Structure 1
Amino acid sequence: METKYLKINPADNVAVAISELKAGETITVDGITITVAEDIPAGHKITLKDFAEGDQVIKYGYPIGHAQVPVKQGHWINEKQIKTNLAGLLEYTYNPVNVELGIPHENRTFKGYRRKNGDVGIRNEIWIIPTVGCVNGIANQLAEKLRQETGGKGVDAIMAYTHNYGCSQLGDDHENTKKILRDMVLHPNAGAVLVVGLGCENNQPDVFKEFVGEVDPERVQYMVSQKVEDEIEEGMRILRKLYAVASKDVREEVPLSELRVGLKCGGSDGFSGITANPLLGMFSDYLIAQGGTSVLTEVPEMFGAETILMNRCKNEELFNQTVHLINDFKSYFLSHGEPVGENPSPGNKAGGISTLEEKALGCTQKCGKSYVMGVMPYGERLKVKGLNLLSAPGNDLVAATALASCGCHMVLFTTGRGTPFGTYVPTMKISTNSTLAKNKPTWIDFNAGVIVENEPMEETCRRFTDYIIKVASGELTNNEKKGYREIAIFKNGVTL
């Protein structure tokens, strides 16, 4: 029999329509028969009780806001009737919980590229990275000429990663640009890198080179365009040498403990917290139990669920860092005169998500139940294995770029509405519902919608894990097949 609704937590006073509920039909929840009072779209919420104004709306076992107006049992309740409970800066108390995953170690491997410094990549690509937007055209021309000259053979891809920054920036913005570009130069998915500078930019090539630090000179080279007669000719001379080195690299068996994945969601819907996000959480716990690493970001989308993460911090120092992570981002909102609890995007609302708390409680499920072992500022690189929290906004490309830049080999991206984009590491799209997977097969890599179609979550996770290992071993994601690869750098301040 088709499941038409889901009450996620015993404490909930709303249920989620798995398929459209029609006015006049009945559902039975906890032994109580409820008549559906109006048509309720799939992914949206139906009231299980009569709500008075001010009553808390409970989903996932937590409040997701309060009723702004009375709402009778059996009705559709959405952002028009629910108001956020979120406010400004808060004080938090550390109430640590005990975490026991109980997941066995399975000694699984993937085929990756072992780098000279001991790090591992899952791709062997040649990247051309501009220090400043002024040389974007040069970078693009060099990438295209090398692709034509080599036929794209011998390496996994040849890419120029253009951006608008590197000059006319001050303070934190300038540092953010330097950090993200440095992180790219050092990323193990690149078998070789050519950094292309102009010469007069704020992000001075010589200073940036020192900022990057020690590299393998056979694999990382710099060119300052103002200092060479013909930048295309000189760039190709350097790239041919880099290609000769990188094209000799071969994959080898690597323990799964070396894999690092970023956790991201976008274009979420009412199924995100039921199917795809819990699936990522189950995989994240599995990977961590194998000794691997996962990273959760989108700090504004932790608002309303932050105490769950804080209480899973391994120690009080990490708890304090997480408090700063949350309150610093709230201060950023407030400094621009923006409310902390702003409702989700129009697409989120249309998909059945009514408040930021509701989104957060679904969003944070992507990181499972593991201890928080690390907290990172924006642009910083991973230092510890296990679950890490990373400072970055919710914007899809900015956050995905930040995940790649901290050292993640791939980004696992759940979506209920669909999106084609990708950042500079494989960006795997996991659909929350089967309709999206069917309608957008060139966007969606894995369908988690089967979880509400009676496939056990454990079975879905086994298939998902197998697929991730295939991607880590070289199978291309849809964004790679399409060539949808970009970067975006967080900007907050003045542009000169």
Structure 2
Amino acid sequence: MTTLTPALTDLAILLRPGDDVVVATRDLQSGATVLHDGEPLTLAQSVPRGHKLAVRAVPAGAQVRKYGQSIGLATRDIAVGDHVHTHNLGMDDTAREHEFGTARVHLPAPDGPPRTFQGYRRGDGRWGTRNYIGILTSVNCSASSAKLIADQFRGPLLDAYPHVDGVMALTHQSGCGLVPASEGAQIMMRTLRGYAAHPNFAGLLVLGLGCEMLPAQSLLDGLDLAPDKVVRTLVIQESGGIRKTVRAGVEAITEMLPAIDALRREPAPVSELVLGMNCGGSDGYSGITANPALGHASDLLVAHGGATILAETPEVFGAEHLLTRRAVSEEVGQALLRRIDWWQSYAAHGGGSLDNNPSPGNKAGGLTTILEKSLGAVAKGGSAELAAVYEYAERVTAKGFTFMDTPGYDPVSVTGIVAGGSTVVVFTTGRGSVLGCKPTPSIKVSTNTEMYLRMAEDIDLNAGRIVDGTATITEVGEEIFEKVIAVASGEPTVSEELDLGQDEFIPWQLGTVT
């Protein structure tokens, strides 16, 4: 009986013609023979699913190419059939050439009537996708009091107010001991004020201690809040301590509930949506399935006049040249490069480098260098031109595809995006992230079917079907776009069903603490 030799194309994906590696779509065993370009190729080592197999010989010191780009330098001779990973692939520090606006794409207007979602109209002209009451703390010293207040509104108490999505405490580890004019203090202030003004909060209780460097009232001074947002302020030292403050806080929120519950959703153009895009627990499929599918969804929303936000600056390092080519101006492209430069100096000052990323989990999933990870991560941004670059937690006002400077650590990154005004987040994951981000709903998309089946109760949509061959990037991208509209209109995500997202409010802490 003759055994047919399988074709490599049935077992792995070649992403670009001329790439030196393919990505295995199943576990490949050492010694197995496959056909590549009509010739037998024998595997020198086993290659796990999602990892890279060499289909071209690469001498030590030469670039290894994937996505048509360098993902690193061979640290030893790589032969055809070798497993390519940390044992034979290292960082490529070759300077990249940066062009500005040379690859701008004008997205065609969408077919059909304008799309809408069901949202909450706010008095400042913005639209919310949720109807929360927030308890915003100016300092960590008021965190426990805020949680005590919020806990009183868990369970049956809110059943009488079905149009109030919840009461959440926004607590953090800072607010005092900061140099007020420092970069760290400014980032913290920007984050807290961004949440205070967020359209997903219809009501706000600002809670302070009374002696902190960032006093409660400073979070509101000069802030352009929606005129219909219900706002109250409490200071623990002035209210007579924790018990009295908690009672007063519960009373204040109880008084807010009827008016906030009376608000109703109404049709809004999808151009009013602000979509935040993030990835975490990435694997070798992230840049092949979920991220490019999300990129297609981003392009669809941009074509409809909406705004999308890509973030995680350390995870675009090595692919930033692809973004600068899409910048609407050299000024926008240079703004991104300045943030990359800042991160390189910041990492060096801490005794590291940006190639300290990927994480151990990323590497177990098949990612080897930050270059490889970044090339997959920027796929979330689709093909639209880069309209603007924002600092961490800065209010996003531009329409179109934008970038925000954030760390790569998921909850810190998403906190900045939400502070910037994101009203829906799509989060892609290959290893299994379980992040929520109140008051903004988080849609989680898996990169592979195996993980989706294992964690189906934590994932909203499976993009692994792309590599399975049962769906295309375009089809899954359209599904994500429709899911964004449905969730923006009130459909709960799995993280919301589990009531996740309060503890994931983690502002970026930076600067001197005294």
TM-score (ref. length: structure 1): 0.96
Equivalences for residues 65-104 of structure 1 within 5 A: 65-86=72-93, 92-94=98-100, 96-102=102-108, 104=110
Indicate the residue corresponding to 2:33 in structure 1.
26
The correspondence of residues 197-212 of structure 1 with structure 2, limited to 5 A, is: 197-212=208-223
Q: Select 1:167's aligned residue among 164, 176, 186.
A: 176
The total of aligned residue pairs comes to: 495
**Structure 1: how far apart are the matches of 2:249 and 2:354?**
47
Matched, 1:472 2:472: no
Once the two structures are superposed, the pairs formed by residues 110-189 of structure 1 within 5 Å of their partners are 110-147=117-154, 149-151=157-159, 153-170=162-179, 171-189=182-200
Could you tell me whether the CA contact under 8 Å between 1:9 and 1:60 is conserved in 2?
yes
- Taking the aligned partners of 1:289 and 1:28, their CA distance within structure 2 comes to 42
Match of 1:220 in 2: 231
Question: How do 1:46-61 and structure 2 match up within 5 A?
Answer: 46-61=53-68
What is the alpha-carbon distance in structure 2 between the residues aligned to residue 102 and residue 30 of structure 1?
37
What is residue 453 of structure 1 aligned with on the other side? 468
Aligned to 2:320: 306
Q: Please, which runs of 5 or more residues in structure 2 have no aligned partner?
A: 1-5
Cα displacement string for residues 269-306 of structure 1 (whole angstroms, at most 9, x for unaligned residues): 00001000000111111110010111011001111100
Contact 1:285 1:370 in 2 (8 A): yes
Q: CA deviation at 1:156?
A: 1.3
Return the alpha-carbon distance in structure 2 between the equivalents of residues 231 and 375 of structure 1: 41
Q: Is the aligned partner of 1:346 residue 2:364? A: no
Q: Is the 8 A contact 1:87 1:341 kept in 2?
A: no
Provide the residue aligned with 1:391 in structure 2: 405
d(CA) in 1 for partners of 2:109 and 2:366?
33
Q: 1 CA distance for matches of 2:117 and 2:226?
A: 25
Deviations 1:246-289 (A, max 9, x none): 11111111111111111111110000010000001111111100
CA distance in 1, matches of 2:12, 2:472: 17
Q: In structure 2, do the counterparts of structure 1 residues 350 and 257 end up closer, same or farther at CA, with 3 Å as the change threshold?
A: same
> 1:426 corresponds to which residue?
441
1:413 counterpart = 2:427: yes
CA distance in 2, matches of 1:70, 1:189: 55
Selected match of 2:46 from 39, 44, 49: 39
Say which of 282, 288, 298 aligns to 2:302: 288
SS in 2 for 1:65: strand
* One-letter amino acid matched to 1:480: E
Shift of 1:396: 0.5
Partner of 1:439: 454
Q: Provide the rounded CA distance (Å) in 2 between the counterparts of 1:33 and 1:241.
A: 75
d(CA) in 2 for partners of 1:327, 1:95: 20
How big is the alpha-carbon RMSD for the aligned residues of Structure 1 and Structure 2? 1.8
Instruction: Name which of structure 1's ranges 220-229 and 149-158 shifts more when overlaid on structure 2.
Output: 149-158
Percent of pairs with identical residues? 36
Could you tell me whether the CA contact under 8 Å between 1:131 and 1:197 is conserved in 2? yes
Any conservation in 2 of the 1:218–1:242 contact (CA below 8 Å)? no
Contact 2:131-2:166 at 8 Å conserved across structures: yes
Distance 1:40 1:257 in 2: 45
Q: CA-to-partner distance for each residue in 1:117-145, whole Å, 9 max, x for gaps?
A: 11000001111111111111211111122
User: Unpaired segments of 5 or more residues in structure 1?
Assistant: none
Give yes or no for contact 1:87–1:340 (8 Å, CA) kept in 2.
no
SS of the aligned residue for 1:294 comes to strand
Q: Aligned-pair distance for 1:38?
A: 2.1
- Structure-1 residue corresponding to 2:3: none
- Which has the higher mean CA deviation after the structures are superposed, 105-114 or 152-161? 152-161
CA change 1:252–1:32 in 2 (3 A) is farther
Letter in 2 for 1:258: E
Q: Which moved more, 1:205-214 or 1:163-172?
A: 205-214
> Which residue in the other structure is 1:272 paired with?
286
Cα 1:157–1:437 shift into 2, 3 Å: same
Structure 1 residue 93: Cα displacement = 4.5
